[in-house]
Structure 1
Amino acid sequence: MAGLNEILRAVERVSIAVSGGVDSMTLAYAAHRQLGKDAAMFHAISPAVPPEATERVRRYAEAYGWTLKIIDAGEFSDEEYLANPVNRCYFCKFNLYGAIRSQSQNCILSGTNLDDLADYRPGLQAAESFGVRHPYVECRIDKAMVREIAKTFELDDVYELPASPCLSSRIETGIRVDALKLRLVHAIEQCVREKLLAATVRCRVRRNGLVIELDKDVYEKFLAGGMGLLRNELGQIGVDHGYIGSVDFAIYKMGSAFLRDQ
C-alpha cells in the first residue's frame, strides 16, 4: 500500500483507464485519495462494456467527486479489432490508450496486476506504445492483494466483484465481433445469473452454437434440478436477438473462447 501511494505521489498527475472492475476501481479510488483533481478517470463505453460496469463507475465518480470522462475508444470502427484475431486485445487497448492520450498528456495508469503477467496479454504491448504504467505490477500486488486493498478502503460493492473481462472475450477467436452478438451474450448472462444466483457465468459464442459456462458446483446443482424451463427462456432471448441455434452448458474454464493456436 505504501509503495502504491509513493508511485501515485511521484507521478503527480494521472489519467486512469477505469473499466469498472475491482482492479481499476480500487486504483482510481487510491489515486483520487492521493491526488484529488489531479487524477482523471477515463471510462470507455461500447457494446463490449456491460452497462452495469458503466453505472458503477458513474456512481463512484458522483459519490467521491472523481473527475470522470466518458469516452468512445473507437474500437468498433477498427476492422482489425472486429475481425477478432488472436491478439484482439491489442487493438482494443491501442484504441483505448490512444483515445485517452488524445485528451490528456498525463501519465496513463492501468489496473493490470501481477497475476495478469502469467497470462497472454497482447494489450500490454499496446500499453508500451503509450508509456502506460502499471502500479500494481511495479509494487508486486496480485489480485488477492487488490481485493484486500479494496476491503481496507471499505469498497464493499467492489472488493468481491467476480472477474469479468469485456464481453468480446466471449466470442471464439476468428468469429467476427458485432454489437448484436454482444447484446445477446449480456442478456443471457444476466438471465442465468439472476435465475441461478451464479457468480461466474460466461456465455461463449462458438462456431457450433452458444455454450454457457458455470462454476462446477452451480453446474452440477443445475444439472440435477433440470434445465427445461431455463433453456426455454434462453431460447426466447436468443430469438429476440436474432439467434436460432443450440444452447449448451458446461463447467467454466477461463479463456475457453480464446484459440491461441489458430
Structure 2
Amino acid sequence: MSVATELDRLRAAITRHPTLAIAVSGGVDSMVLTHVAHGSGASVTAIHAVSPAVPVSATERVKRHAARHNWTLRLLDAGEMNDPDYLANPVNRCFFCKTNLYSRIRSVTEAPIASGTNADDLGDYRPGLQAAEAHGVVHPFVEAGIGKDGIYALAAALGLSDLERLPAQPCLASRIETGIPVDADMLIFIDKAENALREILPDAEALRCRVTAGGIVAEISPLPDADRADRVARLADTLCHDAGRPFAGIRPYRRGSAFLHPKP
C-alpha cells in the first residue's frame, strides 16, 4: 500500500469511533496514532501512564508533542507497581501491566480505548493483547493492516522527524529476565544506564541494559569498535559499581533475550 492509502485506511479505522482514548506510551506507534487521530475529526484524549517502567524521555516526548500540537492529554498512574503479580515478573508480566493500565483508563473515561498495536505485533507472543481483548481495546493500525515499516513511513509523511528516527522503546521492565522481581530502583537504574551509554553510542540501532541472573549485560547492535566498546564497558562497570550491581559484559543485541520460559 502507498502511504496515502495507509493513511486513508487508518483514518477510517479511527473515525468510526466518535470519541477515542488513546493509550500513548511515548513510542513511535502510539505517538503516530495520536497524531493521525488528532487530525481526523474524532474527539481524542491521549492518556499516558507515568511509571518507573516508562523511560523519562518517553514521558517528556508525550508532554512536548501534546503542548506543541494541542492534544488533550491526561497523565495517570496505572498502578502496576502495586500489583504483586506484575512485580513477580512472570512470563506473562505484560498481561498484568496492561490489565492495570486499561482498568485505570476505563476508570477515567467511557470512550473506546485504542492502542498503538500494529499488524507486525500479532506474530509475537503478546500477553498484553489478552488484557486488551478483555477490556475491549481497539487497534486501528491492525484494522488498517499497517505494520512497523508503515508507521515509520507515516511519521515521515507527516513531518514528524523525531518519530521517524525513533528506535523501538519497549517498557523498561522488558530488560529484566523473567523470574527476577521488578522494583522501581532497578527500573530507574536501567533508564539512567541506557541514557548514559547512548552518549557514547548515539547511533546504535539497539541498546539495552539487561538485568540477568549473572549481572547487568549491555546488549548492543551493531557491536561497537574496540575503542568504544572499551569506553562502554568502563562506564557500565562504574555505573553498576555505584548501584551495587555486578557488570557482566557486552554482547550482541537479541530481541526478547530477557524473556525466559520456565523449564518444564
| TM-score tier (shorter) | over 0.9
**Distance in 1 between the 2:81 and 2:209 partners?**
20
Contact conserved, 2:23 with 2:48, CA < 8 A, in 1? yes
**Distance in 1 between the 2:250 and 2:233 partners?**
10
2:124 equivalent in structure 1: 119
Contact conserved, 2:23 with 2:115, CA < 8 A, in 1? yes
1:230 equivalent in structure 2: 232
For each residue in 1:11-36, what CA deviation from the matched residue of structure 2 results, as whole angstroms up to 9, or x when unmatched?
01000000001100000001110136
Report the alpha carbon displacement of residue 150 of structure 1 after superposing the two structures with TM: 1.1
**Distance in 2 between the 1:235 and 1:56 partners?**
29
**Distance in 1 between the 2:186 and 2:64 partners?**
27
DSSP 3-state at the match of 2:66: helix
2:63 equivalent in structure 1: 58
Identical counterparts, % of pairs: 47
Output aligned runs, 1:147-226, within 5 Å: 147-197=152-202, 198-216=204-222, 219=223, 221-222=224-225, 224-225=226-227
**Distance in 2 between the 1:226 and 1:106 partners?**
49
Cα pair distance change 1:209/1:94, threshold 3 Å: same
Report the alpha carbon displacement of residue 261 of structure 1 after superposing the two structures with TM: 4.0
Q: Which of residues 3, 27, 33 in structure 2 aligns to 1:27?
A: 33
Between Structure 1 and Structure 2, how many residues are aligned? 256
Report the alpha carbon displacement of residue 186 of structure 1 after superposing the two structures with TM: 1.3
| RMSD value, Cα | 1.3
Q: Which of residues 125, 143, 156 in structure 1 aligns to 2:148?
A: 143
* TM-score after normalising by structure 1: 0.94
Contact conserved, 1:43 with 1:69, CA < 8 A, in 2? yes
Q: Mind listing any 5+ residue stretches in structure 2 that lack a counterpart?
A: 1-6
Whether 2:257 is the aligned partner of 1:251: answer: no
* TM-score after normalising by structure 2: 0.93
Report the alpha carbon displacement of residue 233 of structure 1 after superposing the two structures with TM: 2.4
**Distance in 1 between the 2:170 and 2:117 partners?**
12
Q: Which of residues 231, 234, 244 in structure 2 aligns to 1:242?
A: 244
Contact conserved, 1:193 with 1:199, CA < 8 A, in 2? no
